[in-house]
Chain A
C-alpha cells in the first residue's frame, strides 16, 4: 500500500478554504449572528457577531487542514483495499468478538466497575439492540424500508400497560400478548401497503407511525392522552415481587426466597437479564429464520422481487411475515420498556425513535446482526457520554449520522454478499430493483 503525496497549489488551497469560509459566513450570519428574543410582547434582537467570526475562522482553518491532509491520504483504491483488509480481519474474528461481547454482557452486573448507572445504561442499550434486531428482519432481510417501527414499540408498551392496569394480568401473561397485538397490528397495517415500492413504503409507514402517536395522544379515555399511563406494575421473579417485605415465616419476596438482604439493585439486575434474554431470543430467532425457506425467500425478495415472483414466491405473504415478525419483536421490546419505566406517554414514541432504530440498522450494515450491536453502542452511548454537552448532544447525534454515512455508506459492517451473482449491481440506483 503506497501513500503517495499529491502536491496541491497553495493558491488553490487558500481559494478553496476562503470559499468555504464565505459559505460559512452566509450560513451563520442570519441564524447565529442574530437572535430574536421576546421582550415585553415584542420581539427584539440580540447580536452575536463574535460567534460568527469564530465559526468562520474555524471553517477556514478546518477546510485548510482537511484539504491539505487529504492530499496525503491514499487514493480511494488503496483506501478500499484497506477497508477490505479490515473487513476480512473482522469476519475472521467476528465469532470470537461476538463471544467476548456475550460474555461481557452476561457478567456485566457482577463486574467490579458496575454500578446501578452502568446497568441502567446497558439495559437501555439492550432495548435498542433488540429493536435494531427486530427491525433488521424487516429492513435488513426483507428489504422493506420501515420508518414507522416505533408504532409497534408503542403498541407493545400500551398493550402491556393497559392489560396490566385494567385486567391485573401478570407480566408473564402480558408479555406474549403485547407481542401478539403488535404483530397483529403489523399485519393489519402491512396488508394494504406492502405492495408499494421502497420509498413509498417508507413514507406510508412513517405516516402510520404518526397516526398511532396522534391516536395515543388524543384518545384520552383509554391512553391518558399526553399524561400517559403511570403506575404500570413491575415484573416479578416468577411470582416473587421485588419488594422490601419483612414477613417472618412465609416467603413473599425475591430477597427472602434467596436469603438475601433487600436491595433495590436486584430488580435492576433482573430487568437487565430479562432484556438480555429477550434480545438474545430475537437474535437467535433471526439467525435460525435466515436458514429456513422463509428467510431465504426474504433475502431473495430483497434482491430481486420479479425474479422471486417468477420462482413461485408469494411476495405479499412473505413480506407480511417479515413485517409481522419484526413488529412482534418491537412489541415485546415495548412491553419491556413499559414495565421498566413504570410510566409511558406518547412522548417516548416519536419519529426520532423510529429514525434512531433505522439508523442503527443502516449504520450497522443492513442485515448484519453484529453491526446492529456496534451501531447501537455508538448511537446510544455517544449521547450518554456527552451528558455534559447536554443540549448539544442531539446536534452531535445528527451530525454523526451524516458523517458516518459519508464515511461508510454501506454501514460499519457491510452486509453479507450473496454467494452467487448473475449480473453486476445497477450503477445508478446502487441496489438492484
Chain B
C-alpha cells in the first residue's frame, strides 16, 4: 500500500511535467494542424537555461529559495519563449501555405539543429546540478515503508495547478484566448473578421514555450540531471499525452500527461524499467485504434 502510494505521487509528478509540455503540442496542433516536432527541444533548452540561471543566482549570492526560484523561472520563461517565437518565425511561417509534409520536415530539421546547437554551445556531457530544494514531508508510515512527498514534488504540483488555472483563464477569458480559439476553428475566417492570425500563432508558440520552460526548470530541480538529448523522448511522450487526451483539448493534454506519468511510474515499479517507454507507446497505439479522438477530443467529421 505504501509503495503504491509512493508510486502514485511519483507518477502524478511526472505526469504534470508531461502535461505542461503536452499543452504546447496540443495548442499548436489545434491552430496549425501540425506536429511541432521542435517542441521537445524547446523544453530541453528551457532545462539548460534554468541550469545556467541557478548557477548565476548562486554566484549572485541570492540564497533565499523562493526569491531565487522566482528569478530563475521568470528568466527561463522569457528566454525560452524567445526560442519558441524564433522557431515559428524561421521554420514554420514561411511554410504556412505549403503542402502538409513540408512543415513537418522543417520541424524535424529544426529539432536536429537545436539539439546540436545546444550540444555545441553547452557541451555533450551530462549536467548535474546539486539539489536546490531539499527535504520533504512523510505522509504515511507503513510497516517499514515511509510514503514521502518531497518539497520539489509539492512545488511541481502547486506550480502546475496555478499555471493550469492561469492558462484556462487566458484561453477562456482574454482577447488572446478568443483569437486562438477562433484561429483553431477556421484560420481564413478568423483573418476575415480582423484577427491578426500571424500574431496569434506567434503568441501561441510563445505561451507553449513558456510552459515548456517551466517543465524544463522543474525537471532540472526534480532529477538534477540534464543533457542535450532529453528533448527527443520527452517530446514524443508529451505528444503521446496530447493525443491520448484528445489533441486540441487543453484539459485533455493535462489528463493525458497524468495518465502517461502514472503508467510509466507503475510500470517501472511493478514490471521492468527497460520497457517503460514501450508501455507508453503501446498505450498510444491502443488509444488511437480504439478511440482516435483521444479521451476528451471532439470527434472529427470526415468530409468529402
Q: Do A and B bind each other?
A: yes
By a beta-carbon cutoff of 8 Å, the part of chain A in contact with chain B is 23, 26-27, 29-32, 34-38, 41-45, 139, 145, 192-193, 196-200, 202-204, 206-208, 210-211, 214-215, 217-218, 306-307, 351-352, 355, 358-359, 362-363, 366, 391-392, 394-395, 397-402, 405-406, 409-410, 427-431, 433
Min Cβ gap B117→A in Å is 6
Q: Is the C-beta of B203 less than 8 angstroms from some C-beta in chain A? A: no
Min Cβ gap A28→B in Å is 9
A23 to B33, CA, bound (A): 27
Instruction: List the 6 closest A-B pairs by CB distance, nearest first.
Output: A401-B109, A398-B113, A409-B98, A398-B112, A207-B281, A409-B102
| Among A26, A200, A359, A399, contact of B105 (Cβ-Cβ < 8 Å) | A359
Asked whether, in the complex, the Cβ of B105 is within 8 Å of the Cβ of A31, the reply is: no
Asked whether, in the complex, the Cβ of B278 is within 8 Å of the Cβ of A211, the reply is: yes
A410 to B97, CA, bound (A): 11
Asked whether, in the complex, the Cβ of B285 is within 8 Å of the Cβ of A391, the reply is: no
| Given contacts A192-B289, A405-B106, A429-B100, A45 and B123 within 8 Å (CB-CB) | no
A199 to B45, CA, bound (A): 25
**What mask results when residues 109 to 120 of chain B are scored 1 for a CB within 8 Å of chain A, else 0?**
111111111101
Q: Is the C-beta of B302 less than 8 angstroms from some C-beta in chain A? A: yes
Specify which chain B residues have a CB less than 8 angstroms from the CB of A27 in the assembled complex.
79, 82-83, 86
Specify which chain A residues have a CB less than 8 angstroms from the CB of B125 in the assembled complex.
38
Specify which chain A residues have a CB less than 8 angstroms from the CB of B111 in the assembled complex.
398
Min Cβ gap A32→B in Å is 5
Asked whether, in the complex, the Cβ of A366 is within 8 Å of the Cβ of B116, the reply is: no
Those of B59-89 within 8 Å (CB) of chain A: 59, 75, 79, 82-83, 85-86
Interface of B is mostly: helix
| Given contacts A192-B285, A200-B292, A362-B101, A401 and B236 within 8 Å (CB-CB) | no
Specify which chain A residues have a CB less than 8 angstroms from the CB of B101 in the assembled complex.
139, 145, 362, 366
Specify which chain A residues have a CB less than 8 angstroms from the CB of B292 in the assembled complex.
196-197, 200
Q: Considering the complex, give the chain B residue whose CB is closest to the CB of A38.
A: B125
Asked whether, in the complex, the Cβ of B100 is within 8 Å of the Cβ of A431, the reply is: yes
A23 to B125, CA, bound (A): 28
Can you report 29 A-B residue pairs in the complex whose CB atoms are below 8 A from each other?
A23-B86, A30-B79, A31-B121, A36-B55, A45-B52, A45-B56, A192-B289, A197-B292, A200-B288, A200-B292, A202-B35, A203-B284, A210-B281, A211-B281, A214-B277, A215-B278, A307-B304, A358-B108, A366-B101, A395-B116, A395-B120, A398-B115, A401-B105, A405-B106, A406-B91, A409-B95, A409-B99, A428-B187, A430-B99
Q: Is the C-beta of B127 less than 8 angstroms from some C-beta in chain A? A: yes
Q: Is the C-beta of B3 less than 8 angstroms from some C-beta in chain A? A: no
A-B pair number, CB within 8 angstroms: 196
Asked whether, in the complex, the Cβ of A405 is within 8 Å of the Cβ of B95, the reply is: yes
Q: Is the C-beta of B145 less than 8 angstroms from some C-beta in chain A? A: no
Asked whether, in the complex, the Cβ of A391 is within 8 Å of the Cβ of B120, the reply is: yes
Q: Is the C-beta of B303 less than 8 angstroms from some C-beta in chain A? A: yes
A207 to B278, CA, bound (A): 8
Specify which chain A residues have a CB less than 8 angstroms from the CB of B240 in the assembled complex.
203, 207
Q: Is the C-beta of B51 less than 8 angstroms from some C-beta in chain A? A: yes
Q: Considering the complex, give the chain A residue whose CB is closest to the CB of B110.
A: A402
Min Cβ gap B193→A in Å is 16
Interface of A is mostly: helix
A36 to B50, CA, bound (A): 11
Supplied contacts A199-B34, A366-B101, A430-B99, 5 more A-B pairs, CB within 8 Å? A38-B127, A401-B108, A405-B109, A406-B94, A430-B97
| Among A41, A197, A355, contact of B108 (Cβ-Cβ < 8 Å) | A355
A395 to B114, CA, bound (A): 8
A399 to B103, CA, bound (A): 13
A433 to B99, CA, bound (A): 12
Specify which chain B residues have a CB less than 8 angstroms from the CB of A307 in the assembled complex.
304
Q: Considering the complex, give the chain A residue whose CB is closest to the CB of B53.
A: A30
Min Cβ gap B72→A in Å is 11
| Given contacts A398-B109, A401-B112, A405-B106, A31 and B243 within 8 Å (CB-CB) | no
| Given contacts A204-B284, A204-B288, A399-B113, A410 and B105 within 8 Å (CB-CB) | no
Min Cβ gap A297→B in Å is 19
A211 to B281, CA, bound (A): 7
Asked whether, in the complex, the Cβ of A355 is within 8 Å of the Cβ of B112, the reply is: yes
Asked whether, in the complex, the Cβ of B110 is within 8 Å of the Cβ of A398, the reply is: yes
Asked whether, in the complex, the Cβ of B56 is within 8 Å of the Cβ of A203, the reply is: no
A32 to B120, CA, bound (A): 9
Min Cβ gap A365→B in Å is 10
Specify which chain B residues have a CB less than 8 angstroms from the CB of A366 in the assembled complex.
101
A74 to B120, CA, bound (A): 38
| Among B112, B274, B303, contact of A394 (Cβ-Cβ < 8 Å) | B112
Specify which chain A residues have a CB less than 8 angstroms from the CB of B52 in the assembled complex.
30-31, 34, 36, 45
Specify which chain B residues have a CB less than 8 angstroms from the CB of A43 in the assembled complex.
51, 55, 127-130
Asked whether, in the complex, the Cβ of B95 is within 8 Å of the Cβ of A406, the reply is: yes
A225 to B293, CA, bound (A): 36
Asked whether, in the complex, the Cβ of B33 is within 8 Å of the Cβ of A429, the reply is: yes
Asked whether, in the complex, the Cβ of B55 is within 8 Å of the Cβ of A45, the reply is: yes
